[in-house]
Each structure stands twice: as C-alpha cells, then as structure tokens.
C-alpha cells in the first residue's frame, strides 16, 4: 500500500512542494498527495519546473499517511482520525492531533516546511535534483514572501539560496516576483474562489474562526478587492461554518495587511487582538504572517 505524504487542505505552494520533495527523498513506496485544488501560484511553479501535481486524495481512513505543513485535524484529510499517521514535518503551532504510537514529529519554527525537508535531505547525505530543488526553493519564497515575512529565518534564506543554485534560478527576487504575479491573477476569480485560495479554520474556546489570506505585489489590486470581499463575506457568511471570518489582504511591497472580517464579536476581537482604537483598524503595518501575527493574537483575544 502506498504511503501518501500530504500537506493541508486548500493547499499552498509549501503543502504541494514539500509533499513532492519529501516523497522524492523517501523513495519507493511513498507518493505525494494533495487535499484540494492546485492554486495558480503553485501551478506556475509546477509548470516552471515541469512537474505534475500530486494525486488528489479522498478519505484517508485506514491508510498510512505522513503530514507535512500542518498538524491539525481540521486542516487535514477527511478520515484522518482513523488513519495511521507515520510522521509529521511542520512549522506551525501544535494543534492537537493524537497518535496511538510514537512517531517522528519534527516541528521547527522556521518559515517553511520545505526548509525542514531540505534538512532531512542533508541528514541523509542526499541532494534534491534540480526540479525538486526548484519546487522546494519556490515553497520557501512563497511562505516567506521572498524573505520579507517575520517568519523567515536565516536558515530559510540560506536554504532557499542553496536550492536556487541547484535549480538554476539565477535571480531569486525576479523569480519570486514572477511567481507572486502568477499567483495573484485574481481577475477571473469569484470572491468565493479568492476566499478559499488560502483559507484555514481555527478554534479558540467555543469559537471557530476562519482566516483567509491573499498576498499581492499590487496594492491597487488589493484595494479594489477589499470591498468586494467584505460584501461577499457578509452575504455568504452562513455557508462557511465559522462563527467569525477574517480575510487578510497582504501587500507584499508595502509589507502590510488590510484585515477585513465579519461575524458577531469579530470587531471586538480585532480591537482586543491588535489594541487599536483607530477608526480604520483594519490596516496593520508590518503584518504579513497569519500564523505568527494574526492567529495567536486572535486566539488569545477569543479565549
């Protein structure tokens, strides 16, 4: 039976590329999987390096599985409670999954799972081939917003540059820009598609809240998107299965986030979380990371 390696639902570039990269290291008997559609940014990366998307996985009950880029049941495969988790490689907060046996659980507070996957290559005295190196490098650029995110460590940067050299990416910044532009081709997308491009659910106390994020090189595009997304979130609120919805419009060049939200108590939560009394408290300068600068603060505010 094939052992699948998968990232989280609504997969991002790290979830897809770390799964492919780790499956390539593990070798025979292992395959990369995914828990949702490939987003436009990731499709650009796969096309750029001539790689196919991993297999779309269904219910994983009764199967053996390795998780990358997540460790929470709410973000994982359907049937995960009845699956046998063999390993977890991640860089997020520890979110409550339980196993019945000891497993390899490697959680490192770096900017990207691909950085951890590359550590495993080194530990095993191996080097990823050029295509896999390109995917892993892309994942690091994606998760760290090309080293701008506060989640980015020196290790991420050094690793990405080593991988870029293997992959033949000459100008990392230019490549990252190309990737981000491909990823924010939002023109033809519906508001629902945009909300779910990169969306995760979290729990705090009795509150379930969802946080989506879109990152763009174009502040103008984000300002145009903001009222559309606000209106959509309000009118479709009931169908998302959360008590509160938050959506981050992250401006990569301005290194800031405009945070819009809806749901009862969301305004008070934002006020408490970001200690802002400003009329427009949705503008958060220096905030780019959901996992480090939004979710912990909201989780505390909602406790």
What separation in angstroms does the CA of 47 have from each of 24, 44, 63, 283? 18, 5, 30, 35
The CB-based long-range contact list for 47-56 (8 Å cut-off, 24+ gap) reads: 48/134, 48/138, 48/179, 49/130, 49/131, 49/134, 49/135, 49/138, 49/167, 50/131, 51/20, 51/131, 51/135, 53/16, 54/6, 54/16, 54/19, 54/20, 54/23, 55/4, 55/31
Q: Which is nearer to Mn ion, 56 or 231 (CB)?
A: 56
Min separation Cβ 8 and Mn ion, Å: 6
Min separation Cβ 49 and Mn ion, Å: 18
Min separation Cβ 36 and Mn ion, Å: 11
Min separation Cβ 18 and Mn ion, Å: 7
Min separation Cβ 15 and Mn ion, Å: 5
Q: Which is nearer to Mn ion, 7 or 128 (CB)?
A: 7
φ/ψ bin of 263: left (φ > 0), alpha (ψ from -120 to 50), beta (otherwise): left
Q: Which is nearer to Mn ion, 15 or 184 (CB)?
A: 15
Q: Which is nearer to Mn ion, 6 or 207 (CB)?
A: 6
Min separation Cβ 110 and Mn ion, Å: 9
Positions that interact with Mn ion (CB under 5 A): 12, 14-15, 69, 113, 143
Q: At which residue do the structure tokens 């969306």 appear?
A: 199
Q: Which of 80, 102, 75, 110 is nearest to 4 (CA)?
A: 80
**C-alpha span between 66 and 48 (Å, rounded):** 26
**C-alpha span between 273 and 297 (Å, rounded):** 5
Give the CB-nearest residue to Mn ion: 14
Contact (Cβ atoms closer than 8 angstroms) between residue 160 and residue 110:
no
Q: Which is nearer to Mn ion, 15 or 289 (CB)?
A: 15
Min separation Cβ 280 and Mn ion, Å: 29
CA 177 to chain centre: 18
DSSP character at residue 172: H
Q: Which is nearer to Mn ion, 7 or 263 (CB)?
A: 7
Q: Which is nearer to Mn ion, 131 or 290 (CB)?
A: 290
Q: Which is nearer to Mn ion, 149 or 282 (CB)?
A: 149
Min separation Cβ 142 and Mn ion, Å: 8
**C-alpha span between 215 and 223 (Å, rounded):** 12
CA 302 to chain centre: 23
């Amino acid at each position: 039976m094939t052992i699948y390696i998968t990232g989280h639902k609504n997969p991002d570039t790290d979830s897809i590329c770390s799964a492919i990269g780790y499956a390539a290291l593990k070798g025979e008997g292992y395959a990369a999987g995914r828990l949702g559609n490939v987003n436009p940014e990731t499709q650009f990366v796969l096309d750029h390096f001539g790689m196919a998307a991993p297999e779309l996985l269904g219910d994983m009950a009764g199967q053996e599985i390795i998780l990358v880029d997540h460790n929470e049941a709410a973000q994982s495969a359907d049937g995960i409670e009845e699956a046998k988790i063999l390993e977890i490689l991640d860089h997020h907060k520890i979110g409550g999954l339980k196993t019945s046996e000891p497993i390899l659980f490697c959680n490192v507070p770096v900017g990207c799972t691909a950085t951890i996957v590359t550590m495993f290559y080194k530990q095993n005295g191996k080097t990823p081939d050029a295509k896999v190196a390109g995917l892993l490098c892309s994942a690091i650029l994606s998760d760290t917003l090309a080293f701008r995110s506060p989640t980015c460590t020196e290790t991420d940067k050094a690793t990405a540059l080593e991988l870029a050299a293997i992959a033949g990416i000459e100008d990392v910044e230019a490549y990252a820009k190309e990737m981000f532009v491909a990823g924010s081709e939002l023109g033809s997308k519906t508001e629902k598609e945009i909300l779910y491009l990169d969306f995760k659910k979290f729990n705090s106390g009795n509150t379930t809240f969802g946080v989506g994020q879109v990152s763009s090189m174009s502040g103008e595009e984000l300002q145009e998107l903001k009222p559309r997304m606000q209106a959509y979130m309000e009118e479709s609120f009931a169908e998302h299965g959360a008590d509160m919805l938050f959506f981050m419009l992250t401006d990569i060049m301005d290194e800031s986030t405009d945070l819009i939200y809806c749901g009862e108590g969301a305004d008070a939560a934002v006020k408490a979380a970001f200690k802002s009394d400003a009329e427009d408290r949705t503008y958060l300068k220096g905030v780019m990371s959901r996992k480090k600068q939004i979710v912990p603060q909201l989780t505390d505010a909602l406790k």
